[in-house]
Amino acid sequence: MIQFKEEIRTDRMRLKVLRHQNAEVFASLVSKNRSRLQESFPITVSRATDAASAGTYLQELELDRNTGRSVLYGLWFRETLVGMIIVKNIDWRIPRSEVGYFVSKTYEGLGFTSEALKAVCDYCLEELSILKICAKIIPTNSQSRQLVEKLGFLLEGTLRKEYKTGLGEVVDVCYYGLLNLDDKT
């Protein structure tokens, strides 16, 4: 069974696996960013409404981690949880995964998301030998699209009416992919 790294370090941050013990601080992060997250993170927003519900949600994600399906990292800067990155929908037969991420409004524009996403992608490609990482992004989220493009993801297409937002709207998504170019298979 796959054992995900407990912690990934960058120059400024520690990316640590989020556990149910982090429920209170995770619920606070989601609460402070709820209106921003509603569109793209409807499950997180609906499942982390308070510390108790966040704890239950994080326990479920721990089960997914233990079975190799996903791993959720908290982005910690100076002992403060400033965001999260999830590697999810892992299919070890290919192997491929999807990433989702956000950083608190307070820490936007400081390069934290870019730094953390690069570290997680490097980990997935180099240490987990993931062949492909995808990111599904709502077309109007230009910041996120620019971020993945900067990190080498390529736009592979637009999936029409593919995603239901937390606002109830069914929207298109831009499908980006990053291949492990060192893979010779």
Q: What would the mean pLDDT of 110-116 be, rounded to a whole number?
A: 97
Per DSSP bridges, beta strands 132-137 and 71-77 are unpaired
Higher-pLDDT residue of 26 and 185 is 26
Give all domains of the chain, ordered by start, each with its CATH number.
Answer: 7-130 (3.40.630.30)
Half-sphere exposure of 78 (CA within 13 A, CB side): 2
Q: Which pLDDT score, from 0 to 100, does residue 185 have?
A: 39
Q: Model confidence over 28-37: pLDDT tens digits?
A: 999 999 999 9
What pLDDT is recorded for position 184?
A: 40
Stated pTM of the model = 0.94
pLDDT per residue as tens digits for the range 89-104: 999 999 999 999 999 9
CB 125 within 8 Å of CB 8: no
Asked if the model's pLDDT at residue 51 lies above 50, the reply is yes
Predicted confidence (pLDDT) at residue 75 exceeds the cutoff of 80: yes
Q: Please write the tens of the pLDDT for every residue from 144-185.
A: 999 999 999 999 999 999 999 999 999 999 999 999 984 443
- SS3 sequence of 61-84: HHHHHHCCCCEEEEEEECCEEEEE
